[in-house]
Amino acid sequence: SDAERDGDPIEANCLGRFFNRSNLDPPLLLGSIKRNLGYTEGAAGVAALIKVAMCMYHRGIIANIQFTSLNPKTDAQKYNLHIFQNFVPFPSVSNNENLAIGVDSFETGAIFVFLNRQQLQEQINAFLTEQTSPRLSIISRPTKPLAQKICFVFSGQGSQWWAMGRQLYENEPLFNKWIHLIDGEMTKINKGEWRLLEELIEKKTEQESRINDTNIAQPPLFAIQVALAALLVCW
């Protein structure tokens, strides 16, 4: 899919920049559960944790099935990234060295880094009970008690359609305000290459619209959902 072609290299390159491995360092080994199970959406983080637990149990890195070639947008050589097509046993380490395995879960807002099965269990327990852990980085957690049952679900790409949100834009001042705020920020980010307001509001016909282009679709979806959430909170 377009989202996969664009999103996967972004995630891989972000990890590469974070770990900053040179060709003189041990390679950064990457894997994905997506090729085994397909898109698991909100369950992706849990599925990845299960895969890592199995890697620990079998003392090796599970192959990425159906992998044939790397997306050219992935800077594998620059960041020393390696993706395996066969099962690879864990390398031997001395007594004072550890093997580290991490799970980046953009769905749950957490990054798990652990060295063995015991630490994996400790971090899962810490995440579920909202406790701190020295090897667990929590990017976000719910701020409302679950008993209040308040939840905003933001969709991904695919739900866009031409002229979406126009009635709210025309009739709800708060919604209008947020669309304009986000339009200003988006224009700064893309350096005026295209404008959110033009694609979302000003295009007169569906034939003119670029709302289904991958690089256009996601910002309007983000803007619509943020503005709608602000409106619902106000109500």
Spans of all domains in the chain? 2-142, 166-234
Task: Flag whether pLDDT at 211 surpasses 70.
Answer: yes
How far is the C-alpha of 176 from the C-alpha of 168, rounded, in Å?
Answer: 7
pLDDT for 173 equals: 93
- pLDDT at residue 143, as a whole number: 46
Inter-CA distances, 235 with 4, 165, 189, 230, 232, Å: 36, 17, 31, 9, 5
Give pLDDT, residue 176.
93
User: For residue 186, what pLDDT is reported?
Assistant: 86
Q: Tell me the per-residue pLDDT of 131-167, one tens digit each, with 9 for 90 and over.
A: 655 544 444 444 445 455 666 767 766 778 788 888 9
Give 151: exposed, middle or buried? Use CB within 10 Å, 0-12, 13-18, 19+. exposed
What is the pLDDT at residue 233?
83
* Confidence at residue 94, expressed as pLDDT on a 0 to 100 scale: 67
- Whether the full predicted model's pTM is greater than 0.75, yes or no, is no
Tokens of 229: 């959430």
Place of tokens 């953009």: 106
**Predicted local distance difference test score (pLDDT) of residue 109:** 47
Is CATH 3.60.21.10 the right assignment for the domain spanning 2-142? no
Q: How confident is the model at residue 89 (pLDDT cuts 50, 70, 90)?
A: confident
CA 207 from chain center: how many Å? 31
| DSSP assignment string, 192-217 | TSS-HHIIIII--STTT--TTSHHHH
